[in-house]
Amino acid sequence: DVKVTQSSRYLVKRTGEKVFLECVQDMDHENMFWYRQDPGLGLRLIYFSYDVKMKEKGDIPEGYSVSREKKERFSLILESASTNQTSMYLCASSGNKQPQHFGDGTRLSIL
Amino acid sequence: QKEVEQNSGPLSVPEGAIASLNCTYSDRGSQSFFWYRQYSGKSPELIMFIYSNGDKEDGRFTAQLNKASQYVSLLIRDSQPSDSATYLCAVKTSYDKVIFGPGTSLSVIP
C-alpha cells in the first residue's frame, strides 16, 4: 500500500511566522503535490514536483514555496503566514501515469 | 465552462438503493479518470480509476466512461450508510494535469 505521511494533523501558528509542512512518501514516486482544500472551493493545487530539486507552480502559489531535496520528501513553506492561509493542506504522490494518493492532511490554523 | 463538473448535491438515497454520481469534463483529449471518496474531515481516498470506454466494476462500485460524450459516472449498488461521503471526480487532461471536480456529497439514509 502507498503510504504518504504528513508531519502534523493539526497545527496552530501566528501571523508572520514561517511555517513548514512536511510530506514523506515510501513508494519511490516521482511526482509529489501540495493542495489546499477550503469549503466551497474544492481542491486547489499550490505546487508540484516531478523530480528531485524540481518544482512547478500550481494554480495558487502566492505566499508559498516548496523544497524537494530528496525524492521521498516534499516540503511546503509558508514564508510569512497570514490568516487567509488557514486551511486543510493535503500532500499527494504518484508514480508516472499512476493515480495520486493522498496523505491524511494537515489542518492549519493561523491566528 | 469549468474543466471538470459534477452533479450538484447533496444527493440522498435510501439504504440498499443505487447511487449515481456524474462527472463531465471539457478536455476531449483526456485519457485517465479517477473517483475519490472523502469522508468529512479526512483526506481523499482513491476508489476507482478507468481509462477505456465502457464499464469497470469493483465490488459494489461501477465506473462508466463515455469519451464521445465526455462523461464519466460512478454507480454504487446496495448503498450503505458507510458510503455517505463526498465523491470527487478527477480527470488527467491531455496536457498531463489532473483536475479535480468540486465533489458531490452523498447521504445514504438508513
Tell me the pLDDT tens digit for each residue of A87-98: 999 999 999 889
Chain A residues interacting with chain B (CB cutoff of 8 angstroms): 42-43, 90, 97, 99-105
Residue the block writes with cell 477505456:
B52
The number of CA neighbours under 13 Å toward the Cβ of B30 is: 28
Residue B76 contacts residue B59 (beta carbons within 8 Å): no
Q: What is the mean pLDDT of residues A78-91?
A: 97
Q: Any idea which of B8-12, B22-26, B105-109 has the lowest mean pLDDT?
A: B8-12
Given this model, what pLDDT does residue B9 score? 81
Residue A1 has pLDDT above 90, yes or no: no
pLDDT at residue B1, rounded to an integer = 65
In tens, the pLDDT along B21-31 reads 999 999 999 99
- Cβ A90 vs Cβ A103: under 8 Å: yes
pLDDT at B95: 82
Band (pLDDT 50/70/90 cuts) for residue A2 is: confident
CB contact under 8 A, B42 and A97: no
Quickly count helices (H) and strands (E) in chain A: 0, 11
State how far residue B78 is from chain A, nearest Cα, in angstroms: 26
Per-residue three-class SS string for A14-63? CCCCCEEEEEEECCCCCEEEEEEEECCCEEEEEEEECCCCCCEECCCCCC
Peptide bond just before B10 cis, omega within 30 deg: yes
The predicted pLDDT at position B10 comes to 93
